[in-house]
Structures are given as structure tokens and as C-alpha cells.
Copies of this chain bind each other. A is one copy, B any other.
Amino acid sequence: MNKPGKSTEDMDSQTPMGHYPGSHKAKRELFDGFASVAKVLSSGRRAEIVDILAQGERPVDGISHEIDQTIANTSQHLQQLLRAGLVKTRREGTRIYYSLSGPAVSRLWAAVREVAGEHLAELDELAMSYLGDRSTMMTMTRAELRERIGDGDLIVIDVRPEAEFQAGHIAGAMSVTLKELETRLDQLPNDRIVVAYCRGPYCVFADNAVRTLHQHGIQAARLEEGYPEWKDAGFPVEASTTDLPRHDHAS
């Protein structure tokens, strides 16, 4: 006898009376609803999209370029995120800007990364393969950076794509993308420690910035987490109001 009981088909066995809420069918549907939220994060490409939107709003073709997928495919992923309620849209002329629908989504994404980092056996290997060796790199925590950010002995650079800096960044940070970094070394004061940050704990931009700076003999450290975590912690942020956020094409 392998099958589940049929006698209590539509009424939970814990329920003593027939007319109470709690049918198995409704329970299945409710949990299918919860599952639909997780399902939308069950694609690596959509996870990348959420990681990018956690930085701020972005139009479709900016996202498409960032995740290296066709516009059509990116659009379909965005539709799925939209249907599940994880993102919302804002139209501006011919462009449609997507953004996370709330901080709870950011927390969910952080929880996924945390579980993967703590419990998924292969993750260390995958992270190592993408990020390279981090063991020799100096890091700084959010709390420490906030403490020391006004002291004048360090400078904070944001190495995310310009569009993300403009959508919001750590108060007092300057934007230096990786592409520009080597040509703008002279603009960095050589008597301060440079602290680089980017999208989050698994973002490679800050790592590579620190590597480049070290090669040029400049003291540099990486912020352990990224802009979304800084913002979610309620630490001071600011946005470029000089211009509307645009996507940045490399070509």
C-alpha cells in the first residue's frame, strides 16, 4: 500500500469537523503559489537579472546586454518575473524600465545566495572559478567602512557600470568603471587606501579593480558586500540626479 489516503481527500486529517477550512487541494494550491515565487528564481539567467535589478532600475536592452542574452529572451524572462510579482515596470517614452518590486525581493535574493554559500557543496568551486583566488585580498566590512568613510584616509570607488552608479551609490563614492580604471589612476590620491565595491559578495568587478590597483602599487581593499546590502542596511546612499539613468553599451 503505497498510495496516500483517499478517505481524507479534501479535508485535512487533523480537522475534526467537516465544514472547517483546510482542504488538501487548497493547501496544494497555496504552496504551489509559494513555489511559483521560487520557480521564477530557478533560472540562472533570471537570477542574474534580479542581481542586476537589485542595483536599481534598468531598461530591457541594458539587462539583455548585461546577461549576454538576446533581447527577445531577456524580455520573456522579464515577463515571468513580472507575472510572479518580483519586478515592476515604468515606461518612459519608448523605453521600459524594470526594477525590483520591493526590498523583500532583495532579501529573498540574499537568502538564496546565503543558503547556496552555506550548504551547496559545489558553490565554492563555482565561485572560485568565476572570482579567482580571493585569499590574498584585503576586505572591509560595511560597518567598518561607514565608520572610516569620513576620516579622510580612504577613498571609495564604485566599479559597477555607470548606469548602476547613477541609479544609486554609496554616499561619497566616485564612479570608476573597470574599463576606465587604468587610464584614471592619476586621479586617485596616492596617500589614501582605495576601497572598491560593486554588486554584492559574488561580484567580480571589485576584485579585479583591487588586483589592478595592487599591480600599480596602490593600496586597495574590497568591500565585502555590495551596494544593495549597504542600502538595505539603511546606510547612506545618494543618486545622480544630473541625468536620467541610461544603459551603457560597450559597443
Contact = CB atoms under 8 A, between A and B. Distances in A.
Contacts of A118: 85, 101-102, 104
A5 B107 CA distance: 32
A21 B86 contact: no
Main secondary structure of the interface of A (DSSP, over half): helix
Interface stretch (A10-18, A91-99, A239-247): A10-18
Nearest to A160: B14
A33 B3 contact: no
Interface stretch (A45-53, A147-155, A223-231): A45-53
Contact of A122 (B21, B33, B159): B33
Most B C-beta atoms less than 10 A away, residue of A41, A45, A182: A41
A143 interface: no
Contact of A38 (B21, B38, B212): B38
B181 A34 contact: no
A108 B146 CA distance: 28
5 closest A-B pairs by beta carbon, nearest first, are: A21-B132, A85-B119, A39-B42, A38-B41, A32-B44
A42 B51 contact: no
Interface string A9-31: 00011111100111110111111
A79 interface: no
B65 A4 contact: yes
B12 A204 contact: yes
Interface string A133-151: 0000000000000000000
A76 interface: no
In the complex, which range does the number of interface residues on chain A fall in? 35 or more
16 contacts: A4-B68, A5-B65, A14-B205, A16-B179, A20-B132, A22-B132, A27-B204, A29-B130, A33-B123, A33-B126, A34-B116, A37-B112, A37-B116, A85-B115, A102-B119, A111-B111
A208 B20 contact: yes
Contacts of A44: 28-29, 31-35
A161 interface: yes
Contacts of A46: 35
